Structure 1
Amino acid sequence: MKIYGLKNCDTCRKAIKALPEAEFVDVRADGISPEVLAQAYEVLGEALVNTRSTTWRGMDEATRAMPVLDLLAQEPTVMKRPLIERDGEFLLGWTPKVQAALGL
């Protein structure tokens, strides 16, 4: 299991604490592979982009209009987080629904 997020994100910290066996990938420091992004986008679509984030609000319209995968490759911090990958399945966020799906 892998958790993709930011090390200073409170929500990501909660997920890491609840899932100590998971590998954490800091998308700002380590990046996220194009393959993982493409697979997550196939499953989650536009929900992968956090349009409520400070990063998103600071972007100009041309940047916001970029294809999602290009945008996330250029600005991984605009990804909604945490993105959890487990056995080829992708879960997004740290909602009660996600926690239930993980058996927590």
Structure 2
Amino acid sequence: MPQFIFAYHGGKTPESEEEGAKVMQAWKDWMGAMGDSLKVPGAPVGLSKTVSAGGVADNGGANPLSGYSVVEASDQDAACEMAKGCPMVADGSGSVEVAEIIDMEM
């Protein structure tokens, strides 16, 4: 079955410990609901740098990545349905890019 990367963009930093606990529980609930389809829970990421032929920029790019996960699904539409449950999507603070991971046999 194909695997897909969820690239998270956006989100917001909780303003209190209580809010942080609530947000963390939402992520745990969503990831738990995916069961065995969640292959790599992933993690949040820090500010990125963009490397190009012109050099290195510290701006994080046009749409900075805030985290990632890897899931298994029958197809991209099924993976997108799974991504709709992401807490950042549900609360409107972010988005999820869904891309198939192409197996490159060497």
- Please classify the TM superposition score into its range, dividing by the shorter chain length: under 0.3
Q: TM-score, structure 2 length as denominator?
A: 0.26
Q: TM-score, structure 1 length as denominator?
A: 0.26
* Larger RCO: 1 or 2 (CA < 8 Å, sep 6+): 2
**Bigger CA radius of gyration:** 2
Larger strand share, 1 or 2 = 2
Larger helix share, 1 or 2 = 1
